[in-house]
Structure 1
Amino acid sequence: MTLTTEDGVKLWAERTGEGDPVILCHGGPGLWDTFDDVARLLADRGAAVHRWDQRGCGRSERRGPYSVARSVADLDAVRKHFGLETVTLLGHSWGARLALHYALAHPARVTRLVYVSGTGIGPDSGWYPEFVGNLRAAIGDRLPRWEELKALERRTEAEEREMCVLQWSADFAGPDRERAQRLAERMATPWYGVNHECNAEINAETRTMSEHQLHAACGGLRMPVVIVDGEQDIRPRDAVDSLAQALPDVSRVTLAGAGHMPWAESPAEFAAAVAPR
């Protein structure tokens, strides 16, 4: 189904399951919802799961403007569309940051925040260089092809997809890189194309945000927050420490043998950590 925001942009959204309402916020920025497995896990455990593609992404209309505030407003449009007074928010990667900003803007509407594989509230410079090194190591013997594709001034859609699959394969843990490649291929199917404009504009904005101000704001949140990390995520998990320290009601679950998509590699443990209470 589609819904229309107050500025006229059409967003794709759907609901599955019955029970306590959960809205899922996918990563990116500029990507799309790949939460099929998460939706099934939560619906099987008594949740009404609400999924959506963010503005300009996936099945939603490819039109800006793109900003954190606009993303928060779009998330609230999803909540209103489904008639939800209060919700649990589950955000993954950039979506974890979006869910956190929504909770800061509308704390009375969030009963629980599930922060999965986020990168904290500190500057990118604190974690990004280590991430790049880990990424290159995890791509392994396919690194030359990834570098070749990344260096192209213009890529075809097929080349863009190939580059993303190679990069996303690094987000899965363990020595079996063929399995990681298959899981990344699944993420890229169907392929909707990365919105690089959305990615660039939102990332540029988040880089200007003050860690001190965010730390102070997070100290005022009263809903329970669970932070879920994959032990083998190539993004350093200590980047999330300052966020965990700022939150007054927080628990943290680290899943062994899991990377950036922990539900793919530790599904039972992930479900136990994030399922409705």
Structure 2
Amino acid sequence: METDDGIRLWTARTGDGEPVVFCHGGPGLWDMMADVAASPSGAATVCRWDQRGCGRSPRQGPYSVARTMADLDAVLAHFGWDRVALLGHSWGAQLALRYTLAHPERVTKLVYVSGTGIDDDSTWHAAYQRNLRDALGGRLPRWEALRDRDRTAEEDREYCVLQWSADFADRERALEHAEAMADPWFDVNFECNAALNRERSPGLRDQCETLKVPTLIVDGTADIRPRWAVDSLERALPVVSRVQLMAGHLPWVEDPTGFHAAVSGFLAST
């Protein structure tokens, strides 16, 4: 599909029913939620897309939250959808929330998966860094060595796989799960990541307190991003439910049954 400024974005559409648009994590990564899309596709039309500059979409900016929200608007327009449900993971959860706050009339339901809440990053990022290092364990020295030098393309992939291995509760299978995230591999857009992470979003709490769109928060209790960072979002939203699973940052990988039951049940509810 093509955006209003002429950038072509990769999209995939499956299933039949009410539309659900996925927003992948990152920023700077690509859609890794094919397995998630397979579950509700019997009762929903699922749209996945690679955000601007990411994955199978071309490396063209500009990169900003406002521009990414405009691209999401273009995805809806491309498929002719006036109203959709949104499912966002990690950074994509923040994107889906921001879009819902800006356009509540266009969103029927919001599924907020493994996001980091509405407080400033400074309130939780130090705890995240400690948890990351603890979770890496014996892989920490190699991760630090790769982090602190100019990397080859192959080392970029190794660095990311090592970091992603910390995102799983099952330490014995963590590296296996992280390798699966990197297959296929499309290269991380670190420029996009830096640009979007520099942006701040003050005033979200007041907006959340008046949001009437039904919201489901799903997170893993073993996510290395502190789950208490999401508590303020849960308290602020007037129409919200929350499901916490025994999993890490990608709960559909480690508890697929619990994840799909929570999301499918929420999307099917009236």
Q: TM-score range by the shorter chain?
A: over 0.9
Please name the residue that 2:223 is paired with: 233
2:20, 2:224 → 1: CA distance? 27
Indicate yes or no: 2:115 matched with 1:118. Answer: yes
Please name the residue that 1:204 is paired with: 198
> CA shift at 1:174, angstroms?
2.2
Could you state the TM-score of these two structures normalised by the residue count of structure 1?
0.94
Please name the residue that 1:272 is paired with: 261
- 1:61-210 maps to which residues of 2 (within 5 A)? 61-152=58-149, 154-176=150-172, 179-206=173-200, 209-210=201-202
> CA shift at 1:98, angstroms?
0.2
Indicate yes or no: 2:20 matched with 1:32. Answer: no
Q: Per the alignment, in what secondary structure is the counterpart of residue 11 of structure 1?
A: coil
User: What letter is aligned with 2:33?
Assistant: F
1:20, 1:182 → 2: CA distance? 34
Alignment length, in residue pairs? 266
Q: Deviations over 1:191-214 (max 9, x none)?
A: 1111111111111013xx22xx11
Please name the residue that 2:249 is paired with: 260
2:162, 2:40 → 1: CA distance? 29
1:10, 1:62 → 2: CA distance? 10
1:156, 1:39 → 2: CA distance? 33
User: What letter is aligned with 1:10?
Assistant: R
> CA shift at 1:109, angstroms?
0.7
> CA shift at 1:18, angstroms?
1.0
2:219, 2:161 → 1: CA distance? 22
Question: 5+ residue gaps in structure 1?
Answer: none
> CA shift at 1:41, angstroms?
1.6
Q: Per the alignment, in what secondary structure is the counterpart of residue 98 of structure 1?
A: helix
> CA shift at 1:85, angstroms?
1.6
User: What letter is aligned with 1:234?
Assistant: I
- Misfit runs of 4+, over 3 Å: none
Please name the residue that 2:204 is paired with: 214
Q: Deviations over 1:147-183 (max 9, x none)?
A: 110011x21110000000000011111231xx11111
Question: 5+ residue gaps in structure 2?
Answer: none
1:163, 1:175 → 2: CA distance? 17
Could you state the TM-score of these two structures normalised by the residue count of structure 2?
0.97
Indicate yes or no: 2:235 matched with 1:245. Answer: yes
Q: Per the alignment, in what secondary structure is the counterpart of residue 10 of structure 2?
A: strand
2:48, 2:34 → 1: CA distance? 9
User: What letter is aligned with 2:210?
Assistant: G
Please name the residue that 1:223 is paired with: 213
1:220, 1:61 → 2: CA distance? 37
Q: Per the alignment, in what secondary structure is the counterpart of residue 48 of structure 1?
A: strand
